[in-house]
Structure 1
Amino acid sequence: MEQLERYGYPALALLVLLEGIGIPTPAVSVVVAAAVLAGHGSMSLPLVVAVTFAAAVAGDNLGFWLGRRAGRPVILRWGRRVGLTEPRLTRAEDFFARRGRNIVVVARFIDGLRQTNGLIAGAMALPWRQYAVRDAIGGALWTALWVSVGALAGGNLDRLHALLRRYETPALVGAGVLLVSLLLVYVWRRRRRVTS
């Protein structure tokens, strides 16, 4: 909390971003603390939301490109330094393979996968567009959850409510478009399987 008060948004951005490339950081605690500080007027709640979301997505996408460029052998060589051993990587890859691409959305809420999902998806050669969309959804949900927790803890409920009301319509439209898109993809895949 002291470092966050001292260095502010750059510290928040750096710690959240580093977590996305597999370096363990207290990102969740930092996001909650930043939202609490916003509740006391030391930081701006909209900026905490924007910085957290941007850093989360940037870190994961950087992790994705590192995984894509470096591949599995390099990830294993350097990953041991941060606890990413071969058995853990294999378990995570199996989990991705079984659960499909949508696990990228959920991975942000699972400790271990949150730090490595970009690296793993990149090493598995998951198409970047498919990864980026799911990662952005997961990043938005993760940001909303932890900023809300911090805002509630910091007595910032009125500002959070005003922020949510301001972006309510675009968020609902975006969620509707996403649901319709997912439904269309599902129907298209089912028809393709039936005709095969």
Structure 2
Amino acid sequence: METLGELGVGLAVLLETFVPPIPSEAVLPGAGFLAYEGRMSFTLAWAAATAGALIGAWIWYAVGSALGRDRTRHLVGRIPLLDHEDFDQSEAFFQRWGGVAVLLGRCVPLVRSFVSIPAGISRMPVLHFTAYTFIGSGAWNAIWIGAGFAFGPAIKPALERWSGVLSNAVLAVIAILVVWFVVKRVRRLVKRRRAVGAQ
């Protein structure tokens, strides 16, 4: 961000869309601090961050749209420990909460990277999808850039100390969720096989 300015902010947020362990919560306050020091524009930093989030969301939306429902359902069924029922449940949830899921999902690490895929699969109107993404991402970016700007010099040591910790925390949460998911699914498969064997 120091080298590329506002463009660097947008690229960092776009990169986070594809590499979730790079949390925007550690990136955006740094942009706010640079704006506090007068080394970049607060407004342009916010605009670049929001544009990066939009571009990443559009790409994932296009992936979901290109795959379509049937192909995605087939792919999910071939993933170890997943089955078609998982896809059906996720689809039902998104059909009910699609707009809210996209809007609020922009404020949840990891979720914000992939919530665009079911939006593309369900062919949510692009203008609606863009509006939800813009509002959710715009608010999220304003909060974190604003925090960096408001706290000024006080935010710099905190960023140096906690940005790596935050990234590791995100990775740890992902690892815990993966382990929990695998254990739960293995137990379910064992129960199903026992039930089939008992018939």
Which bin holds the TM-score, normalised by the shorter protein?
A: 0.5 to 0.7
**Structure 2 residue 42 is the aligned partner of structure 1 residue 42:** no
**Deviation readout 1:115-154 (Å, 9 max, x if unpaired):** 1111221123222222122111112211221111111222
Paired residue type of 2:35 = A
Distance 2:4 2:82 in 1: 36
Is the 1:9–1:48 Cα contact (8 Å) retained in structure 2?
Answer: yes
Question: Aligned residue for 2:6?
Answer: 9
Distance 2:153 2:43 in 1: 15
Paired residue type of 1:44 = S
Is the 2:91–2:118 Cα contact (8 Å) retained in structure 1?
Answer: yes
Question: Aligned residue for 2:181?
Answer: none
* Structure 2 residue corresponding to 1:23, chosen from 11, 19, 28: 19
Question: Aligned residue for 2:102?
Answer: 104
**Structure 2 residue 147 is the aligned partner of structure 1 residue 149:** yes
Distance 1:117 1:26 in 2: 16
Give the structure-2-normalised TM-score. Answer: 0.60
Secondary structure, aligned partner of 2:2: helix
Change (3 A) 1:74 1:137: same
Look at both structures and tell me which one has the larger radius of gyration over its CA atoms: 2
Gap regions ≥5 residues in structure 1: 78-84, 157-196
Q: CA deviation at 1:61?
A: 1.7
**Deviation readout 1:99-120 (Å, 9 max, x if unpaired):** 2422211111112211111122
Is the 1:76–1:86 Cα contact (8 Å) retained in structure 2?
Answer: no
Give the structure-1-normalised TM-score. Answer: 0.61
Question: CA-atom RMSD, angstroms?
Answer: 3.0
Distance 1:71 1:18 in 2: 25
Secondary structure, aligned partner of 2:99: coil
Is the 2:107–2:137 Cα contact (8 Å) retained in structure 1?
Answer: no
Among all aligned residue pairs of Structure 1 and Structure 2, give the percentage whose two residues are the same amino acid. 29
Secondary structure, aligned partner of 2:109: coil
**Structure 2 residue 53 is the aligned partner of structure 1 residue 56:** yes
Secondary structure, aligned partner of 1:110: coil
Paired residue type of 2:101 = I
Q: CA deviation at 1:39?
A: 0.9
Is the 1:92–1:113 Cα contact (8 Å) retained in structure 2?
Answer: no
* Structure 2 residue corresponding to 1:134, chosen from 132, 135, 153: 132
**Deviation readout 1:9-60 (Å, 9 max, x if unpaired):** 333211212333x432332311111111111222221211111122112221
Is the 2:13–2:24 Cα contact (8 Å) retained in structure 1?
Answer: yes
Paired residue type of 1:14 = L
Gap regions ≥5 residues in structure 2: 76-80, 155-199
